[in-house]
Amino acid sequence: MAWFSKTKKLKASQSANGKSSPQPAAKGEALWQKCDGCGEVAYVQDWERHWNVCPLCGHHDRLPVRRRLELVLDPDSFEELDAELVPQDPLGFVDAKKYKDRLKSTAKNTGMKDAFISGGGRIDGRPVSIGSFAFEFMGGSMGSVVGEKVARVFDRAYERRLPAIVFSSTGGARMQEGIFSLMQMAKTSAALNRFRSVKKPYVSVMLHPTTGGVAASFAWLGDVVIAEPKALIGFAGPRVIEQTLREKLPPGFQRSEFLLEHGMIDAIVKRPEMRQRLSQLLTLLA
């Protein structure tokens, strides 16, 4: 039985220039955004103009995956690939609802087929193989299709001798696919190992949150590992660790600032500065 299949593309709402920029608020929609960091409210257009970063306190809210690609890539340079891949239900999994029904409803609500978008683009004119998790699709969980797409990011970078960039934002392996999901940890790491032979850089960008099997595999294997401010990064969550060890964890444990202080990541980069920092890294390493 196939773990994934190809179907016709779903059409996402796009602006006239082909980008998935936020649409103007319709009558009755909220015009204000409350910040989860400081509790203050900001005008929605200001919020979106700052890439979902609070203009008052700098809190980084989640950014839709296509907006993230617009943030870092040259205008109109992104070419999505692997969009025809869709997950199957090899285990016939059922929890509160059938897995196949959950996939259908999530695809309808998000306009995406799975929790990862991959393709090629340019950063300041330099071609890259790039992919980004979509936390809005089942918490960015990694199943067989997500693993295949991540592996293809590295495979294309290997074939075309390009730098590779992956943005991770995920709760980890997708439980509805069981062992097929866990196998993606080895599959993606093996693809990354093949890519190493061309001596091009792999930049791993960890967003809030990056946990589970993704953190335990390719997300922490970058030549350069960077994170956004206050991102939760680790294998098991802090509550699980506290319950297991029966000890209180240090303040800020598993946040990007804590990890930077202890040498686990290379840098923390604010979202509006991400494109410039990636360009600098590619200039130095590629």
CATH code of residue 74: 3.90.226.10
Same domain, 55 and 67: no
Same domain, 46 and 130: no
Same domain, 35 and 175: no
Same domain, 106 and 52: no
Beta strands in 158-252 (DSSP E): 164-170, 202-211, 224-227, 233-234
Q: Which residues contact 190 (CB under 8 A, 6 or more apart)?
A: 151
Same domain, 44 and 106: no
Instruction: Please check whether residue 9 lies inside any domain of the structure.
Output: no
Tell me the angle at which helices 144-160 and 178-196 cross, rounded to the nearest 10 degrees: 10
Phi then psi dihedrals of residue 195, to 5 deg: -60, -30
Q: Is the pTM of this model over 0.75?
A: yes
Q: What is the pLDDT of residue 16?
A: 40
Domain ranges, residue 39: 31-61
Q: What is the pLDDT of residue 190?
A: 98
Which residue's entry shows tokens 């257009």? Answer: 45
Instruction: Please check whether residue 281 lies inside any domain of the structure.
Output: yes
**What count of other Cβ atoms lies within 10 Å of the Cβ of residue 23?**
10
Q: Which residues of the chain have pLDDT under 50?
A: 9-18, 20, 27-28
Q: Residue 137 corresponds to which tokens in the numbers above?
A: 């699709």
Question: Both ends of the chain: CA-CA distance in Å?
Answer: 40
Same domain, 47 and 123: no
Tell me which H or E stretch contains 87. Answer: strand 85-87
Closest CA relative to residue 77, chosen from 124, 131, 44, 30: 124
For residue 47, the number of C-alpha atoms closer than 13 Å in the C-beta half-sphere is 22
Contact 204, 236 (CB under 8 A): no
Q: Which residues contact 108 (CB under 8 A, 6 or more apart)?
A: none
Same domain, 52 and 135: no
> Rounded to whole angstroms, how far apart are CA atoms 178 and 214?
15
Instruction: Please check whether residue 22 lies inside any domain of the structure.
Output: no
Same domain, 44 and 104: no
Instruction: Please check whether residue 10 lies inside any domain of the structure.
Output: no
Same domain, 95 and 207: yes
- Residue 7: C-alpha distances to residues 85, 88, 111, 138 (Å): 7, 11, 14, 20
Same domain, 55 and 98: no
Which residue's entry shows tokens 């997950």? Answer: 87
Q: Residue 10 corresponds to which tokens in the numbers above?
A: 């779903």
Q: Which residues contact 245 (CB under 8 A, 6 or more apart)?
A: none
Domain end among 61, 83, 109: 61
- The domain total for the chain is 2
Closest CA relative to residue 210, chosen from 107, 62, 57, 53: 62
Same domain, 195 and 213: yes
Instruction: Give percent above pLDDT 70 in the chain.
Output: 90
Same domain, 228 and 105: yes
Instruction: Please check whether residue 11 lies inside any domain of the structure.
Output: no
- Residue 186: C-alpha distances to residues 182, 191, 218 (Å): 8, 9, 9
Instruction: Please check whether residue 19 lies inside any domain of the structure.
Output: no
Beta bridge partners of 4: 87
